[in-house]
Amino acid sequence: MAEDWNARQYLKFEDERTRPPRDLLAQVPLAAPRRVIDLGCGPGNSTALLVERYPQARVIGLDSSPDMLRQARERLPNCEFARADLADWSPQERTDLLFANAVFQWVPDHPAVLRRLLAALPAGGVLAVQMPDNTEEPALALMREVAKSPRWAARLAPAAAARDDLPTPAAYYDLLGSLCAHLDIWHTVYNHVLADAEAIVEWFKGSGLRPFLSPLDDDMRRDFVADYTARIARAYPPQHDGRVLLRFPRLFIVATR
């Protein structure tokens, strides 16, 4: 069984991680949806945005991680949360908004899943999605580089292949466009100001590093992180004040049925 997500680790950078869902929600063209589903709700930071934006809606958060759901329920005790696997989950009738912040990059064959979910929405319903588009950024490329070390290569081969590059905007347009009355697709590149190289490593311990670290024992994890941190320090040199900039491209899709 895969190791569960760690909500505490993920929330170390809550403000930075909540900017993309805030930007995505700002482009959702719905004034008063009745039923709103937060797909891959994580610790509830994105769900809180939805509750604030749509106080009269029934907002439900879904996630596959028990620890994320526990944190979400603590944050929003009056909100509904449930465990679900998005690979085979389908929305109930009269669902007006499916909102997905940084989850579908982990879902197998996610383009087909997105098309299926969009097709399940009523006329005027919205599928709003944000995904990291950063597989070629140094932070992720260096994970794969370290994983090729003879010490770990055999054990970490599945992790190195865990995330593919996202399809192009044109591919998403052709995939979803025939189902839409309106389709917006765009990229935003964030430059997160972090304390130092070690902070970048801490950031990815809550997300991209998980598949690489979970198969390793404690000693191996320590050595892997030390090697990765040294490479990160070279790839992300300090700015004039000693801080570093984590460049982070993200893809956004807002599809209206």
Q: Domains in the chain, start-ordered, CATH in brackets?
A: 7-256 (3.40.50.150)
pLDDT above 90 for 163: no
- Full-model pTM: 0.92
Exposed e or buried b per residue across 97-123, where buried means at least 16 C-beta atoms within 10 angstroms of its C-beta: bbbbbbbbbbbeebeebbbebbebbee
Choose among 53, 34, 32, 28: nearest CA to 94.
34
The DSSP symbol for 181 reads S
> Which residue has tokens 């439900």?
60
CA 169 from chain center: how many Å?
A: 18
CA 137 to chain centre: 16
Sign of CA dihedral 14, 17, 23, 29: negative
CA distance linking residue 126 with residue 107, whole number of Å: 20
At 218-246, the pLDDT tens digits run: 999 999 999 999 999 999 999 999 999 99
Residue 7: the pLDDT is: 45
Mean pLDDT of 199-207: 91
How would you class 189 by CB atoms within 10 Å of its CB: exposed for 0-12, middle for 13-18, buried for 19 or more?
Answer: exposed
pLDDT digits (tens, 9 = 90+) for 58-92: 999 999 999 899 999 999 999 999 999 999 999 99
Pairwise CA distance, residues 207 & 163, whole Å: 12
**Residue bearing tokens 């024992």:** 217
Q: What is the mean pLDDT of residues 104-114?
A: 96
